[in-house]
Amino acid sequence: MAATRHILLTGGNSGIGFEAAVVLCRAGHRLTLLCRDRATAEAAGGRVLERAGASTPPATAVCDLADLESVRACTTALLARGTPIDTLVLNAGLQYAGASEPRRTAQGHELSFGVNHLGHVLLTHQLGPLLTAGPSPRLVVTASEVHDPTTAGGKVGAPAGLGELAGLVPGQGTTMVNGTDKFNADKAYKDSKLCNVLFAREFARRLEAGGTPYPVIAWSPGLVIPPTSTGGFWRYSRQSNELGQRLFALAARSLLRLTESVENAGALLAALAVDDAYAASGFTYHRNRVTAPGRHLFEASATSTEGQDPELARQLWEASAALVGVGADWP
């Protein structure tokens, strides 16, 4: 059985993150849930405690990943408390499928890139001291197979691709990371997941170079379709897309049997956060792939070709650090 750990988790109020939080709380691990506002945080803590049947509620804190100032305020408070973090789980994510115009973060970045990548970049940088203070730190990043254009999900629509990161040049805006494509909400999401993979890879490389390696795990949960009615992942999608989303979910879940349940995906995330089986230092990518209708295999896998590019990973790291206002030489 894994030793008790302190896990800090983003996106724990719904979907995969919520189910992982229930599993972890039930097992006796100490949780801190970061949510975008106080009402969401308090409700999430209560629901996790009720489902887990535990006696100790998870701690909660407000951290709106769509506002870098909120991230800074949250991390300042956590650093003041000084409680070491054993596992930092960067799980929160959103997609606003079908939108014709980009949405923006408080700082003006395209929303899916800003929340799924930039907010987590700043969070990880700021909380680095609390991670290294623990005896066996670990970073887990929820990516997606759609970052890879050769996978079933990655083949649908415009493929992920960051080009030369022209959209991240200061003063050029960040509507699309490659700086050349017309706005495409689905591609923006795929690109943000490719950023997750490259960020994790470069973070692990830098830890190794600095002589302080620990596990850095990126993973794909498979096709998990959360309920549209509960907000979370789909909260920014257009209402006009809801019928299409429901029909797609019906076909994928009941007819083709391609989906993974949110409960099973949450259990996988909980295992990545605490189990000794995932304690090897360095970067790994794990994919929950479909092997037959209704069957999945969770295993270590290769990322996309672009997700293996060390120079692109370095350039993304430096550009992202500049956008969130931190030095590129960390950790």
Point out the residues that are catalytic: 189
Q: List helix spans (H) across 85-155.
A: 111-113, 119-132, 152-155
Whether 113 contacts 177, CB under 8 Å: yes
CA-to-CA distance for 88 and 130, rounded, in angstroms? 10
Going 193 to 278 to 259 to 266, the CA torsion angle's sign is negative
Whether 112 contacts 66, CB under 8 Å: no
Degrees, nearest 5: CA angle 119-120-121: 90
CA-to-CA distance for 327 and 331, rounded, in angstroms? 9
Degrees, nearest 5: CA angle 294-300-305: 105
What are the percentages of helix, strand and coil residues in the chain, rounded to 5?
Answer: 45, 15, 40
Whether 105 contacts 67, CB under 8 Å: yes
Could you tell me which residues come within 8 angstroms of residue 242 by beta carbon, excluding any fewer than 6 positions away? Answer: 228
- The region that residue 97 occupies, defined by phi over 0 for left and psi between -120 and 50 for alpha, beta otherwise, is beta
Degrees, nearest 5: CA angle 99-321-324: 60
Q: Is 90 exposed, middle or buried (0-12, 13-18, 19+ CB in 10 A)?
A: buried
Report the SS3 class of residue 50.
helix
Q: Which two tokens stand for residue 108?
A: 């003006």
